[in-house]
Structure 1
Amino acid sequence: MLSDTTGPFAECHSTVNPEVYQKTCMFDTCNCEKSEDCMCAALSSYVRACAAKGVLLTGWRSKSLKYTYNVNSCQPTCRSLSEPDVTCSIKFVPVDGCTCINGTYMDDSGKCVPASSCPCYYKGTPLSSGEVVHDNGVLVSHFSWLFCLSVCVPPMVYVDCGNLDSSSREMFQDTFSLSSLQYKTHCVSGCVCPDDQVLDGKGSCIAPEDCPCIHNGNSYSPGESIRVGCNNCTCRNRKWQCSEEPCLETCSVYGDGHYTTFDGKRFDFEGDCEYVLNYCGQQAMNQGTFRVITENIPCGTTGTTCSKSIKVFLGNYELVLNDGHSDVIQRTPGGKIPFQIRSMGIYLVVDTTVGLILMWDKKTSIFIKLSPSFQGHVCGLCGNYDGNGNNDFTTRSQSVVGSVLEFANSWKVSSSCPNANRTQDPCTANPYRKAWAQKQCSIITSEVFAKCHSQVEPNEYYQACVDDACACDTGGDCECFCTAVAAYAQACNELDICISWRTPSICPLFCDYYNPQGECEWHYKPCGAPCMKTCNNPSGKCLHEMRGCYPQCPKNKPYFDEETMTCVSNCDVVYNTTDGTGWCIVATCGPNGTLQRFFHRCPMSTSTTSPFSTTPSTTTSTGTSFVTLKSVFSCLVKKIFYSTKWIAQILALR
C-alpha cells in the first residue's frame, strides 16, 4: 500500500519517499507478535511524516466511525467543562487516531461520555454526580462547576485562578521542570510551590539551584559528575558543565564483516583476503605514520568471513594479534617500542605513542580509536575521518564511489586476491537456524537494552546479529551471537549507557576461573572497573574502561601484575619518567634480569619536562634519583646472575 502509485498514500510520494517506511513496515510486521498493530503503527508513522509536510492522507483505515485522520489538538474533556483545559488550546502537527464523537467528552478513565455523565471538578478534584462537599460554610455540589478542591501538602499552596487579578495571575504562569528550561502556560488552578521554590518532579518543592540535571533519563544531584565520552560533566545550577577535551573517534569491525567508520558510516563487507583497515601515510601533526591490516578468514559454509587476525605496523615494529595472543616483531634494529599492550577485562588494549588506540576482544571484534589530530589524514575501510560520512567510500585511488564492493575491494593488500562478491543471505542458506537466531538476538530489541534504544538504533545491530547467528554453521554459533550482542553493548557503553546483559545462561563470563584457591578477588564488571594500578600502568590512569573480569586487589597488594594475573605488593619498578610529550615511561625488572619499558598517557597534572621517581629520594644534579640508580644496578645484578647460571648449565651439559 505504501508504494502503490494509485493507492491512498500516492499523494505524498513526491513529498516524503516511502521506501524507508516500507522497509520498516515489512520488518516490524514480520517480527512483531501483534503483526497488524505493528503494521498499522508503521503506516501511521508515514501518515504523520506527510502531515508534518502539509499533506493530509485519508481513506487508508476502515475500522471505526470514531477514527479521525487529522487530529491537531486534544479532544474535549470532562475537566474542560469545570475549568479551563489549557492543553486543548495547543495546536500540533495533525495525527490520525480515535476521538470522541461530537457531543461527548473524555473522562479521567479515557471513556467518552455525554456531558450529563461528567463529574464536576472542585479545586482539581472530580466530584461524582450527586456528591456534595462543604468548604468554609459554602455548599458545593455537582452543579457548581466554578470551584475546585485541592488539599496541598506544605510548603505547597493552593492557587485559584478564578479569584486572582491579572497581575497576580502572571505570577503563576512560569512552570518549571527538572531540565534547565522553563516554559510558560496560562494560569491553572491547583497546588503550586512558593515564589522562591520549584517542583522537583517528586511532589516536593526545592530551591531552583538545587534542581537535578538529567542525562539519559537519569537525574543527578548538584555536584554529581558523570563521564560523557572523554569529558567529565558536573551538575551545577540545573545545567551540565563539561570539560572540552577533544575526544577520540572510534571505528569498529565485528562479526561477519560489520563495519562502522570513524564518521559513523555503517556497511557490511565479506572478503577472503587481507585489507587495509586504517592507514596514515602522512605526518599528521608530527604524530607519525601507521598501518592497520585485518585478515578475513572464512567462518561458515555460506562464504561468510570474520576478521580474526590484525597486524599493526608502527615505526620499526610489527604487532600481530591472532588466536587470542599478541606477538611483537622488530623489523629493524634500534628504536624504542612505540606502544604498550595490556589486558582490560575481555579486551586486549594497545596504546600507542602516536594517538592510536586499538581494542581487540581476542576474537572477532576490533575497535580503533584515533585522536582528532588525524582528522582528514587517514584512509582505508575505516574511512577518512573528516566528519562527513557521505565520502567515506573513498577508494585507494581517491575516488568516491557508491558501491560497497568497489570501495572495499580497492583496499586489498594483495592484488592476487580475488574480488569479493555479494554472499548469499545466511538465513536463506540455513533456514533451520533462522528461528533460533531471531529468538536469541531479540535481546537487543528487548527491555534489557531499553534505556539505550533512544540513543543507539538497535534494529541494525539486531539484523547483524541474526545474520551472524545464521552464518556460523561450522561451530561457534553461540560465540557469533555473543559477539554481536556485545557489539551493541559496547556502542551503548561509548555513550555511558551501561547494560548488564550477561547471565549464567546468556554469554556468561567465568571470572571465578582466575580466583586463587579459597579466594574471591575476581568479579565481572559489566561497565568496566575503575582504572587499576598495574605493573604496566602504576599510575592507575586510563583513557577508557572496558567490561570484563577484574580483580579487587587488597590494600596490602595494590598492584595487578598482568604477567602473572595476580595482585602484588610491588612491581619491582626500576624507574618511572616521562618523554616530555605527554607520555609516561615505566621500566620494570623482567624475567632473567631484562629491563622492560611500558608507555602510558601521563595524568594531566604530571610534569612533562623532567623525570620523576615513584619513591621520594635525593636526586643528583642531573635529576636522576639514587633510588633509580640503585634499581638499575639491582636489575643488572639479576641479569649477570641469570647469565652466569645459564653459562654454568651449558658447561655442566658439556
Structure 2
Amino acid sequence: MFSLFQVNGVSHNLPVIVADGQLRAYQHGTNILVQTNFGLTVSYDLVYQARVTIPGSYEGQTCGLCGNYNGREDEEFLLPNGRTAPDEAAFGSAWEVEIPGASCTDRCAGNSCPVCEEKKKDVFRGRNYCGLLTDPDSPFAACHGVVSPSVYQSNCLYDVCLGNGDSQVLCQSIHSYVTACQEAGAPIQPWRSASFCPVSCPANSHYEVCADLCTTTCSGDIMDCPETCAEGCQCDDGFFFDGQGCVTLESCGCFERGRYYKPNETVLMSECQQSCTCVPARGVTCKAQGCSREEICQIRDGVRACVSKDIPKPSCSVVRCREGTICKMINGQAECVPVSQTTCWAGGYLHYHTFDGRVYDFHGTCNYTVAKTCRDDSVLPSFHVIAKSENSGNTQVFYIESVTVQVDGVTVTAARTEVGFVGCGHALTGGTYVNR
C-alpha cells in the first residue's frame, strides 16, 4: 500500500521528527505510527483501521467519535455542545470536520445500515473466512486470552458479507486483529500463505510476521522503537529502509534536522530563500535562492515552490464553516477552526470502539474528529485526531483514506497514495504530512 506523509502540508519521507522531538512518525510493519512525547500514539494501516492510544492522565478530557473516556459506556454519545445525541447517526454527523472543497454524506448508522443475511453469514463463519479468528487451533489462539476476537469476528462477518466475500476485505479484517494482538504483546503464528492473504513485498525485502523496519532504516538508530511486533516486509540482509523500499547503504539519502531526504532530492526552505539538496555521502548542502518579482512562495500539492502571482489564492470568501467555527487562513490555506493508556479504534466499514469500550457502527463519507482534548482548563498537552472516510466504489463499503494528527501547532497527515511520504508545514517529504 502506498502512502503520502505531510507535515503542515509539505510532503516528507519517513521517518520524521518535528517540534524538537515532541512528535515522531515512522513505519512499523505495514502500519504508520505517529507518536508524541506525552504518550499519544496513532497507528494507521493505510486503508482499514486507525487506532488512537492515550495515557490514563487524559481520563475525562477527550471528546469525538472515541468518546469522553470517563469510564462509562452509557455516556459516550456526547455532542460538541455537551448534550447527548439521540442515536449513532446524530452523534457521528456532529463530529464532522469542515474541510474546504470536501463534501460529506451520512450514509447510515446503527439499525439503518445494510444487514447481512444469516445464510451468507453462515458461509463466512467457516475457518476459511472469519471463523479463523476464533478457531481454538488457529495461529491466533495464543492471543484469545489477551484480546478477545469476538468483536473482530463480528466486524469481519459484516464487512466480508457487504463485500460479497472479497478476499481483500477478509485479509484486512484479519490483519486488524493481528495488529491489536501484536500491540498487546501477544504472539502470533504465521497465518498468511501464497494462497491465503499473500503479501507482495518490494524488491530486496521479504514478508515476516514480526518485521523490524524501525532499526534498519537509512536514517540510522534515531527512533525510540517499539518493543512490540508488527507484521510486514522486512529488508533483506545488507539493505536498509528508506521510507519507500529497501536499498543499499550507498543508495541511502540524508537525515538532517528531523527530516529524511532522498539522494539528490532538492527542496526549498525558509520561505523559498534556500535551496537544499541531499548529496549522498556528503549530507545536505544549501544555497541561497529566491522567487522572482512575478512569483510568490507557496505550498502547492505538498511542495513548497515559487509560483506565479496570477494563480488565484485560496480565500475564506468561498468557504462556509459550521456553527461554532470560523474560517482562517493558515499557511496559505482556508481552514475552519473552532471558535473557542487506553485505545480507541475505527476500523472496518466502519466500526468504532471507544476509549471506554462501547462498540457502534456509523457509515459516512467525510472528515471526522476521532478524538481530541476538549477541556480548555486542562494542563495536559492538546491534540486532535481526524480520519477521512470514503467509499470504494461499492456504496456500502467504506475505508479510511487518511488520518491527520494535530499537536502543538504541527499537523501531520498520512494518506493512502504514495508509499512512505510525509507532509510537513505544507511541504512534501514522504508518506506523511507535517505542518508547522
Normalised TM-score (structure 1) = 0.34
Highest CA radius of gyration, 1 or 2? 1
Task: Flag the structure with higher helix content.
Answer: 1
Higher relative contact order, structure no. (Cα contacts within 8 Å, ≥ 6 residues apart): 2
Task: Flag the structure with higher strand content.
Answer: 2
